[in-house]
Amino acid sequence: MKYDRSALIDLLRREALSRGDFTLASGKKASYYLDCRKITLHPQGANLIGSGMLQVIQDSETMPDAVGGMAIGADPITASIVTIAGQQNLPLKGFMVRKEAKGHGTGKQVEGPVEPGQSVVIVEDVITSGGSAIQAAEAAEAFGLKVLYVIGIIDRLAGGAEAFAAKGLELKVLTTIRDFGIEPE
């Protein structure tokens, strides 16, 4: 499937954008909410996001060994990207980062077919303060992975890019809140 940015924006507007009074994960108040799970778990949405993020990856200088992010939000994004990569015979794998290392089995915080020394891209749905993706990047680096950059579905333009830059990470996004005619709050 070829990436269609306008189709993604239309689907996000129809299925994921709500107006009202909301408290975000960052604790900030907002007049709108983006529930990207309605898109990442939607058949067309999963294809649009997977193909869009894969296009960003392919347009970048370095092809990573894997993509992944914080469980549970990044899991369907990761699955979409690796599924489309597999259909194109690309060797891109996926991984997931647990909020904390599990207390049984191998006790890992980073799960999947990745090894220390490999390069990865962190994926995220909505970028607000960047906290969740930064936590995922820090866990990946602690595991020994080299984080190349972060890709988000939508940037609320609320300081996430600056938070990533302060950590030495670049943020790439498929859309921003301005694509919906909304100015940052």
Tens of pLDDT along 9-25? 999 999 999 999 999 87
- Find out whether 114 and 145 touch, Cβ atoms under 8 Å: yes
Q: Which residues are annotated as a binding site?
A: 98-99, 102, 104, 124-132, 156
Indicate whether 113 belongs to any domain.
yes
Statement: residue 156 has pLDDT above 90: yes
Percentage of the chain lying above the pLDDT 90 cut: 86
Indicate whether 185 belongs to any domain.
no
- Find out whether 129 and 160 touch, Cβ atoms under 8 Å: yes
Indicate whether 159 belongs to any domain.
yes
Task: Considering only residues 26 and 163, tell me which one the structure prediction assigns the higher pLDDT.
Answer: 163
Rounded Cα distance between 86 and 93, Å, is 9
Where do we find the tokens 């498929």? Answer: 174
Indicate whether 31 belongs to any domain.
yes
Statement: residue 102 has pLDDT above 80: no
Q: Which residues are annotated as a binding site for orotate?
A: 128, 156
Please state the domain count of the chain. 1
Would you state the structure tokens that stand for residue 101, as one six-digit string? Answer: 């290392």
Q: Write down the pTM of the prediction.
A: 0.94
Percentage of the chain lying above the pLDDT 70 cut: 96
The whole-chain average pLDDT of the chain stands at 94
Indicate whether 71 belongs to any domain.
yes
Write out the E strands in 49-177.
Answer: 66-70, 93-97, 110-111, 119-127, 146-155, 171-176
Q: What is the pLDDT of residues 76-95, one digit of tens each?
A: 999 999 999 999 999 999 99
What letter represents residue 79's amino acid? A
Q: Which residues are annotated as a binding site for 5-phospho-alpha-D-ribose 1-diphosphate?
A: 98-99, 102, 104, 124-132
Domain holding 97, by residue range, is 5-180
Q: What is the pLDDT of residues 116-143, one digit of tens each?
A: 999 999 999 999 989 999 999 999 999 9
Indicate whether 149 belongs to any domain.
yes
* Whole-number pLDDT of residue 2: 76
* Whole-number pLDDT of residue 100: 78
Indicate whether 68 belongs to any domain.
yes
Look up the CATH number of the domain holding residue 104: 3.40.50.2020
